[in-house]
Amino acid sequence: MTERQPHPAALVVGAVLRDARERRLVLPEESAALLGVLTETLFAIETGHRAIGARDITRLCLLYRTPEDAPALQKMAAVLPPLPTGSERPLGTAELLPGPVSDTLPGHGQRLAAVCRQATRLYMVTTWEVQPQLQTAEYARAMHQPPAALPGYPLPGPAEAMYALDESVITRASDSAGVMARQIAHLQRLRAQGVDIRVLPGLFPPGAMAELALPGGTLLIDRWHAPDYLRPGARQLPRSLAGPTVTGTDTDRRLACALDHYQRAAAAQSES
């Protein structure tokens, strides 16, 4: 029988808890003992296949020294069916709300980064801005966002990761030409290191989304900031309208042209 896809809330809660445990080097046996469950049950929670109550979320967050995450995880877990006392009932999509599940509380960026770290496959596509993993700190400040250099986001990401940007992201008018030039140079360095970055013309519909394969199932993310987490197929990811797949040479050419443009603009700005 095909295993059911967990609810987005269960996937996110489990991924954040597992990431915190691994970063604190806590053995799964220790976490399971704290909850009074088998290690297999802990793994089921971390992969989104078992429910977890608000009290146990608090206990794990205290163990992992991330108490600030407890309110957000409890809020997301609240959309799941209540877990009867003494029950370890599996979670499946058939009985759950379809989502989306929003994370708007403080620290949502760090929790999104935790979810990304747990992904085995990651596809991030944007028509708005450079993906957080690929941003320079000054670009993030110019975009009025927490700098990408803050602890959290994987750099560059899982082994199987692809970052697609609409061409307009690197060509739109900017008052900070120097910032854009250095950001594009950073993208070029990442590509030279083997990061799969693709600059595509005509991505549609507009937006910033991600598709992640987690150990427990697949998850869609709408927006990097105060993200919505959705089930697979709930939204259409931006796709290129340009026809054939864009080659690496196309991306390198577009980055080089954009870099030249912003370097010239930066020189003109400094002379004025």
**What backbone phi and psi angles, to 5 degrees, belong to 17?**
-65, -45
What local confidence, expressed as pLDDT, does residue 83 receive?
54
DSSP state of 135: -
Give the residue with greater pLDDT, 161 vs 97: 161
| pLDDT, average across residues 177-189 | 95
pLDDT reading at 155 higher than 80: no
- DSSP one-letter code for 50: B
pLDDT at 171 over 80: yes
Q: Which of the listed ranges 45-54, 169-178, 239-248 does the model predict with the highest average pLDDT?
A: 45-54
The mean pLDDT of 134-158, rounded to a whole number, is 70
72-98 pLDDT per residue, tens: 999 999 988 665 444 444 554 444 445
Percent of the chain with pLDDT over 90: 60
Two structure tokens written together for 239: 């796709």
Residue 149 carries which DSSP code? Answer: T
Contacts of 221 (CB under 8 A, 6+ apart): 112, 115, 209, 210, 211, 212, 227, 228, 229, 230
Fill in the amino acid letter for 128: W
Could you tell me the two tokens for 242?
């340009």
Gap between the Cα atoms of 83 and 228, Å rounded: 24
152-165 per-residue burial string, b: 16 or more CB within 10 A, e: under 16: bbeebbeeebebbb
Give 153-165 as a DSSP string: S-SS-SSEEEEEE
Q: Say what the pLDDT of residue 87 is.
A: 45
Domain boundaries, given as residue ranges, for the chain: 8-99, 120-271
Query: How does pLDDT run across 210-245, given as a tens digit for each residue?
Result: 999 999 999 999 998 889 999 988 888 887 755 555
Topology of the domain comprising 8-99: 434 Repressor (Amino-terminal Domain) (1.10.260)
- Percent of the chain surpassing pLDDT 70: 84
> Which of 42-46, 91-95, 141-145, 217-221 shows the lowest mean pLDDT across its residues?
91-95
pTM of this structure = 0.86
Mean pLDDT of the chain: 86
Contacts of 148 (CB under 8 A, 6+ apart): 132, 133, 134, 135, 136, 137, 139, 140, 155
Structure tokens, 260: 């030249």
**In Å, what is the CA distance from 50 to each residue of 25, 77, 85, 169?**
22, 11, 14, 40
Q: Where is average pLDDT lowest: 72-76, 119-123, 136-140?
A: 136-140
Helix segments in the chain, DSSP class H: 8-23, 28-35, 39-46, 54-63, 70-77, 108-117, 137-142, 177-192, 248-271
- Given a contact cutoff of 8 angstroms between Cβ atoms, the answer to whether 205 and 37 are in contact is no
Residue with tokens 């620290």: 107
102 close to 227: Cβ distance less than 8 angstroms: yes
